[in-house]
A and B are shown apart, each in its own frame.
Chain A
């Protein structure tokens, strides 16, 4: 059981959701974050003030999956988010100690398995 964290471009977030859906990965949370991963800096000018925007908008996916779904999830994130330009993002896979489904109290593997039983 792993937590897969994917940080991607906001404009690719829909493509990632589509790819995850096709890989039958359900149970996703996403949040808007700001980050910097070595991409080109944007320069913006407001009247006399010129600034370099160090942080870019990113979208962070968090997906808890059972072990057989780790690779499909990573593949889906890569497929959906890749443009080939610097700044496409990163994927982090971290071990997950416990998971609990609040509604039923189910724990661990059962908690990260969707109700319809089809996928992690």
Chain B
């Protein structure tokens, strides 16, 4: 024990560091898990493109996070946004991150995984129509202009954190950030051509269930690691991440049964996400008992909006707004009522005699969505001046996989003729 401790920088805890290495890897797995979840929910001809939007975040956002994102979120700043102190990984070394006993380098990687999966989440609003290149540009800008600002507010010493707003694992930057950005992106990009005219059904429900299951698994690192320690916050958050989604799942079954007499698999996959999202901001702040109530409550607004949204012209395709935005909002507000000092060591909520917390939680629930929606909308509207955001109608009909990537998810190989010379462009005229 002492020998390991001696190898590390002063004040770095070997136990915390070991857990956070594992937690970081768990969170990184959530991005391909999300790709699988989203890929199963779209039509077969768009499965690869949808998956690729998540995979792309692992490349693009990791680099923007190293370049500037981390610095804007976590270096010393002006309350609204961080500064350039840690740009290009400057100062991100083995010395412990302020407020934790883990190396800042590991803290950087853990937080990078958060920004990656959040950027990937937004893709759910624009799948099956947005061109891949413009999506990468959008993701680059979003991961610099939106996520770091929201993360700074609640974690980087920003104005919400300094007034006592509690957000354990990302109700503001991750869940409301992605949900309300998705809302704006769906409006800015517009509905799919066949939306509201044809039934656009998930092509592989098994992928959706497996993806949701792997997301839940990863979420134990996501929430369990957000205390940056193997101590009480980590243990509480870990356990609450089991309890809350379990309650959501059971309530969702009940809602499904009440509405259609049958529990649905897509509903179960959605419920797992909603429960994990709901407990995310509250995981280290509420008791295990209250986390069950939070999981149950979180199901209600999300379920209602998921039923209502397809009757509108809002093609927020994979329901990121209800599953993440609203469930995250529920969790952020829930803390204001049920936070319990005897469990979290930080603050009480309204029912434990500290009503002031609820006010700052409510302000976070207004400011976070407003910022995410506005900036995302502006980014896409400005991009639209310079480039087409979506493919033409014909390409949309053919499918994004063939048009954007020159590949198919389910290729039989029949009719494939080997070409010796490299091809030029996506389509060539038939020589015959």
Residues on A lying within 8 angstroms of B by beta carbon are 9, 11-12, 14, 34, 36, 38-46, 49-56, 83, 85
Q: Which residue of A lies closest to B397 (CB)?
A: A11
Chain A proximity of B47: nearest CB distance (Å): 15
Q: Is the CB of B417 within 8 A of A44?
A: no
Residues on B lying within 8 angstroms of A by beta carbon are 198, 394, 397-399, 402, 406-408, 411, 414-419, 422-423, 425-430, 432
Q: List 23 A-B contacts (CB under 8 A).
A: A12-B397, A34-B414, A34-B415, A41-B428, A41-B430, A42-B406, A42-B427, A43-B406, A43-B419, A43-B425, A43-B427, A43-B428, A44-B402, A44-B408, A45-B406, A50-B418, A51-B417, A51-B418, A52-B428, A53-B417, A54-B416, A55-B414, A55-B415
Whole-angstrom CA separation of A44 from B414 in the bound complex:
13
- Residue B397 contacts which of A9, A44, A45 (CB distance < 8 angstroms)? A9
Q: B419 contacts which chain A residues (CB < 8 A)?
A: 43, 50-52
Main secondary structure of the interface of B (DSSP, over half): loop
Whole-angstrom CA separation of A44 from B407 in the bound complex:
5
Whole-angstrom CA separation of A101 from B414 in the bound complex:
36
- Residue A43 contacts which of B397, B398, B414, B423 (CB distance < 8 angstroms)? B423
Q: Is the CB of B417 within 8 A of A40?
A: no
Q: Is the CB of A11 within 8 A of B423?
A: no
Given A9-B397, A50-B419 in contact, is the A41-B414 Cβ separation under 8 Å? no
- Residue A40 contacts which of B399, B407, B427 (CB distance < 8 angstroms)? B427
- Residue B416 contacts which of A12, A14, A51 (CB distance < 8 angstroms)? A51
Whole-angstrom CA separation of A11 from B44 in the bound complex:
12
Q: Is the CB of A50 within 8 A of B423?
A: yes
Whole-angstrom CA separation of A20 from B343 in the bound complex:
65
Q: B198 contacts which chain A residues (CB < 8 A)?
A: 14
Chain B proximity of A71: nearest CB distance (Å): 27
Given A11-B397, A44-B407 in contact, is the A49-B414 Cβ separation under 8 Å? no
Chain B proximity of A103: nearest CB distance (Å): 29
Q: Is the CB of A50 within 8 A of B422?
A: yes
Q: B398 contacts which chain A residues (CB < 8 A)?
A: 11
Given A45-B423, A51-B418, A54-B417 in contact, is the A40-B430 Cβ separation under 8 Å? yes
Q: A52 contacts which chain B residues (CB < 8 A)?
A: 416-417, 419, 423, 428
Q: A9 contacts which chain B residues (CB < 8 A)?
A: 397
Whole-angstrom CA separation of A12 from B397 in the bound complex:
8
Whole-angstrom CA separation of A118 from B53 in the bound complex:
49
Given A44-B408, A54-B415, A54-B417 in contact, is the A38-B394 Cβ separation under 8 Å? no
Question: A-B pairs with the 9 shortest C-beta distances?
Answer: A55-B415, A11-B397, A43-B423, A51-B416, A54-B415, A50-B419, A52-B417, A40-B427, A44-B406
Whole-angstrom CA separation of A85 from B394 in the bound complex:
9
Q: Is the CB of B429 within 8 A of A40?
A: yes
Whole-angstrom CA separation of A11 from B430 in the bound complex:
22
